[in-house]
Structure 1
Amino acid sequence: MHHRATTSRRTLLTVGAAAVAAATTRVTPARAHSGGDPQLARVLARMSLEEKVGQLFVMRVYGHSATDPDQADIDANLREIGVRTAAELVATYHVGGIIYFSWAHNTRDPHQIADLSNGIQRAGLAQATPVPLLISTDQEHGIVARVGEPATLVPGAMALGAAGSRGLARHAAHIAGTELAALGIRQNYAPVADVNVNPANPVIGVRSFGADPRAVARLVAAQVKGYQGAGVAATAKHFPGHGDTTADSHTNLPYIHHTREQWRTLDAPPFRAAVAAGIDSIMTAHIVVPSLDPAEDPATLSRPILTGILREQLGYDGVVVTDSLDMQGVRTKYGDDRVPVLALKAGCDQLLNPPDLDLAWHAVLKAVRDGEISEARLDASVLRILRLKAKLGLFRRPYVTHTGVDRVVGKRAHLDAADRIADETTTLLRNTGGLLPLDPRTHGDLLVVGADPASPSGTTGPPTATLAAAFRELGFTATALSTGLSPTAARIEEAVAAADGKDVVVVATYNVSPTSTQRTLVLRLASRGVPVVAVAIRNPYDIARLSGVRAALATYSWTDVELRAAARVVAGRARPHGRLPVPVPAADPAHVLYPIGYGLSY
């Protein structure tokens, strides 16, 4: 076992602070590991083997407080992790990071998040070898966001793809990163670098910037600059590319059958662009790509993919973080005790959210003690993690303040910018007879019906209610009637009856399938002679399955910022500048209804 030399906490913090200047310089493969960071190497030398192993793990934990969570969260922590609190988690396993989730009650409000972050940092600095933690979350925006209002919610990736502007993408990321940093969240698992070339993709979809690799690459690089310019480590995901699959790696092990040349031209460009932009971390995918690894291991566990391609071919020497290790895609082939060990051997540094932390932590510890993983290999990963923490200034200033939160989180300038960005994203796909824009003097009485998917952060209620409220603010009379994702015959007839006498019906649609009763709803409404405006609130493909609609728009998410922008476009208060970042296939998928770049205006 490695013996820890005695030293004071003050000395270690001083050493860490002295390393910041060196750590903020981009490290190239030629300066890999401790050779370029002697101060951090000295911090590493003070760490026990157990502390080093702990640095690799990024773990979930329940509770709004690091030391005093609610009893239900204590019970959940004891059941799933074997500790009571975040502070106990840090003290017991020396974890290098913690990931925030809204469902784990980590993100109730800005001051609470800041206090939780500070409590976690105090726990990290109270260890025998004091090291700050890297707190992370999935704040992609759009349909995936863990921090909600009053924080600023900006348009998500595919909406930004529709805008097509690197400047807007960078600005959106800078706003988001500035607010995350104020909350103590210094690693964001965004942007998504997957190229969504498969309309049937169940897990990526609008989380991607689009289907054009070059356009995606430009926007990924822009968001890397935006996040990291705000002091937050960006994370390009999911390497080597999760865009062409019909399976969800949360529940299955997807196979992607791109040839190596197809991978180079379709999947690789955004990751190459991220590396060139100085990306701080890259997340792996739990997918199998046989052309890249004939052994058909998930990419997270594949040395040919992570070391051979990412490290050696792409020249990346930053932090590699696994996707969540509790996902079925990485657990299909190997047991939970082998997965973290194989991920390290493949080339990963951070091990995210294992289902059984105690099992995973001890498995890695045993692998090092038994010589399966050398201590030099362990040190290489720990140094990458320490280097990133130093670059982010966590050794110097690990804490945040309420004053800092109040100064930037949800400030008016950010909210106004989010609205302006959203105005550039809404895409108009059909406008028969020039129905739009609507004039409240001639088409002022609206019925808003449609889908009501589960609300992500950034929504204040069902999409129908949000749209109706937005129209009312613009001078319309608008009534909302939520008909659901699968409207029943009775609900459809209720909507048809409510449409009588209305000037226009606005229908929010959500991933309309060939057999969806959302189609029936639209057909029945259109048959009454009332003009129907369809607003696709997730994937933009719905229009291919809807007949009889006079106008159709795509918003790419159902967050308030996007729905308000759609209402402004319908009312003519904003022009529809968005252009499709993905092709919309016809009902016969062999044909394209609307190509990439299509979009109407007025």
Structure 2
Amino acid sequence: MRTLQEMTLQEKLGQRLAAGFQGLEPPKEFLRLIKEYKVGNIILFRRNIQDGPQLKKLCATLRKVVEEETGVTPFITIDQEGGVVTRLPESEVNIPGAMAVAATGNPRNAYDMGLLTAQELRSYGVDFDLAPVMDINCNPDNPVIGVRSYGDTPERVAEYGSQMVRGLLDGGVYCSLKHFPGHGDTAVDSHLGLPCIDRSFDELMQRELKPFIAGIEAGAPAVMTTHILFPQIEPEHIPATMSRRIMTGLLREKLGFGGI
């Protein structure tokens, strides 16, 4: 295993990248990308997965290639939230979505769903689940969150989301809170447009940020950012993902997050 001190600048940059590809096997162009740019991490989608045995073989191949080219074991990531956002095929175990889990009224179920998901992903070689969703379902016109959320109050989302975090971690898989600092109160899909949430810091602390704080306290090692404008926090008209005020000032300095 190589250390940062032993890496060139190109290799350090590659460790901050994750790349994906089309198909059930990595094409030559993708392997060349890893070799030339030292890309250190992988993201898999439904297009890459046929069944459990194929996924296990694919992960072993990808891990071997990245380790040979970079000297570092990669993160192999996937969006396995459950419900409407699942990457595993129907032949494998897919848990219910967040809203369905919260409808049971028992936060322990969220822990169990996280543990089950982690155990399954690890058995295939996936070690990083890009979940859970910590957004609050507070806008009925939201086209992208909806049933992916645990509920319409910060307390409910915090309780169930933090249990999912604990389950995933206890199952031996990394996880990522998303979508910081909150994607719930929008009527625009940030994959297609640039939403705006016009809230002050105090308003965010009372609502959107509560679930993320709970997830951080539960030990979440990573946070996924969101491409949304928060003009009262970042006046430069740039989305949260690109904002030092939000990513460093808010997430790291005010909330004390030290992870990825």
**Which bracket does the TM-score occupy, shorter chain normalised?**
over 0.9
CA separation in 1, counterparts of 2:124 and 2:30? 17
1:90 correspondence with 2:31: no
1:63 correspondence with 2:23: yes
Residue 309 of structure 1: aligned partner: 250
1:118 correspondence with 2:69: no
Tell me which of 199, 218, 240 is aligned to 1:299.
240
Counterpart code for 1:235: S
- Map 1:240-259 → 2, pairs under 5 A: 240-259=181-200
Residue 159 of structure 1: aligned partner: 100
Task: Give 3-state SS (helix, strand or coil) of 1:235's partner.
Answer: strand
Identity of aligned residues (%): 40
Task: Give 3-state SS (helix, strand or coil) of 1:221's partner.
Answer: helix
Deviations 1:350-372 (A, max 9, x none): xxxxxxxxxxxxxxxxxxxxxxx
Task: Give 3-state SS (helix, strand or coil) of 1:99's partner.
Answer: strand
Deviations 1:62-116 (A, max 9, x none): 23224xxxxxxx4xxxxxxxxx25433321221121110113xx11111111111
Counterpart code for 1:96: G
Task: Give 3-state SS (helix, strand or coil) of 1:283's partner.
Answer: strand
Counterpart code for 2:24: H
Deviations 1:530-566 (A, max 9, x none): xxxxxxxxxxxxxxxxxxxxxxxxxxxxxxxxxxxxx
Deviations 1:435-479 (A, max 9, x none): xxxxxxxxxxxxxxxxxxxxxxxxxxxxxxxxxxxxxxxxxxxxx
Residue 172 of structure 2: aligned partner: 231
Counterpart code for 2:129: N
CA shift, 1:280, in A, is 1.1
Counterpart code for 1:87: L
Task: Give 3-state SS (helix, strand or coil) of 2:182's partner.
Answer: coil
CA separation in 1, counterparts of 2:145 and 2:63? 33
1:101 correspondence with 2:101: no
CA separation in 2, counterparts of 1:138 and 1:122? 22
Counterpart code for 1:271: F
Residue 271 of structure 1: aligned partner: 212
CA separation in 2, counterparts of 1:271 and 1:115? 35
CA separation in 1, counterparts of 2:175 and 2:105? 20
Maintained 8 Å contact 1:62/1:85: no
Maintained 8 Å contact 1:260/1:291: yes
1:147 correspondence with 2:88: yes
Maintained 8 Å contact 1:65/1:112: no
Counterpart code for 1:277: A
Residue 200 of structure 1: aligned partner: 141
Residue 115 of structure 2: aligned partner: 174
Tell me which of 46, 51, 55 is aligned to 2:6.
46
CA separation in 2, counterparts of 1:252 and 1:281? 25
Tell me which of 149, 152, 157 is aligned to 1:216.
157
Question: In 2 relative to 1, CA 316–299 (structure 1 residues): closer, same or farther, beyond 3 Å?
Answer: same
Maintained 8 Å contact 1:239/1:285: yes
Maintained 8 Å contact 1:221/1:274: yes
CA shift, 1:148, in A, is 1.7
Task: Give 3-state SS (helix, strand or coil) of 2:224's partner.
Answer: strand
Maintained 8 Å contact 1:237/1:284: yes
- Map 1:275-354 → 2, pairs under 5 A: 275-319=216-260
Task: Give 3-state SS (helix, strand or coil) of 1:167's partner.
Answer: helix
Maintained 8 Å contact 1:61/1:98: no
Maintained 8 Å contact 1:240/1:285: yes
Task: Give 3-state SS (helix, strand or coil) of 1:163's partner.
Answer: coil
CA separation in 1, counterparts of 2:234 and 2:226? 13
CA separation in 1, counterparts of 2:239 and 2:125? 32
CA separation in 2, counterparts of 1:232 and 1:301? 27
- Map 1:338-487 → 2, pairs under 5 A: none
CA separation in 1, counterparts of 2:124 and 2:194? 35
CA shift, 1:245, in A, is 0.4
Task: Give 3-state SS (helix, strand or coil) of 2:89's partner.
Answer: coil
CA shift, 1:258, in A, is 2.1
Maintained 8 Å contact 1:63/1:85: no
Task: Give 3-state SS (helix, strand or coil) of 1:116's partner.
Answer: helix
Task: Give 3-state SS (helix, strand or coil) of 2:207's partner.
Answer: helix
Task: Give 3-state SS (helix, strand or coil) of 1:126's partner.
Answer: helix
CA separation in 1, counterparts of 2:108 and 2:30? 38
Relative to the length of structure 2, the TM-score reads 0.96
- Map 1:15-54 → 2, pairs under 5 A: 43-54=3-14
Counterpart code for 1:252: G
Maintained 8 Å contact 1:140/1:189: yes
CA separation in 1, counterparts of 2:118 and 2:106? 18
CA separation in 2, counterparts of 1:214 and 1:312? 23
CA shift, 1:297, in A, is 1.2
Maintained 8 Å contact 1:124/1:130: yes
CA shift, 1:125, in A, is 1.9
Task: Give 3-state SS (helix, strand or coil) of 2:179's partner.
Answer: strand
CA shift, 1:55, in A, is 0.8
CA shift, 1:49, in A, is 1.2
Task: Give 3-state SS (helix, strand or coil) of 1:295's partner.
Answer: coil
Task: Give 3-state SS (helix, strand or coil) of 1:144's partner.
Answer: coil
